[in-house]
Amino acid sequence: MSSWRLRIQEIRKTRAIRIVRGLAAWLMVVELAYLLVANVILASGAVQKFVNETQSAHLEFHSSYSLFPMLVHVTNLRLRYQDHNMQFALAVSSADVRVNPLWLLKKRFSASSVRASDVTFLFRHKLARVQGNEDALALYPPISGFSDPPLLGIAKVSNPQDLWSFELQDVDATIRELWFMT
Convert the pLDDT of each residue in 59-69 to its tens digit.
999 999 999 98
pLDDT for 41 equals 93
The 10s digit of each residue's pLDDT in 11-36 is 777 888 888 888 999 999 999 999 99
SS3 state at 131: coil
The 10s digit of each residue's pLDDT in 99-122 is 987 887 788 888 889 999 999 999
Q: Rounded distance, CA 175 to CA 119, Å?
A: 5
The DSSP line for 139-180 is: HSPP-TTS-SS-B--S--PPPTTT--EEEE-SEEEEEEEEE-
Is the model more confident about 35 or about 6? 35
Nearest 5°: phi and psi at 49? -60, -40
Q: Is the pTM of this model over 0.85?
A: no
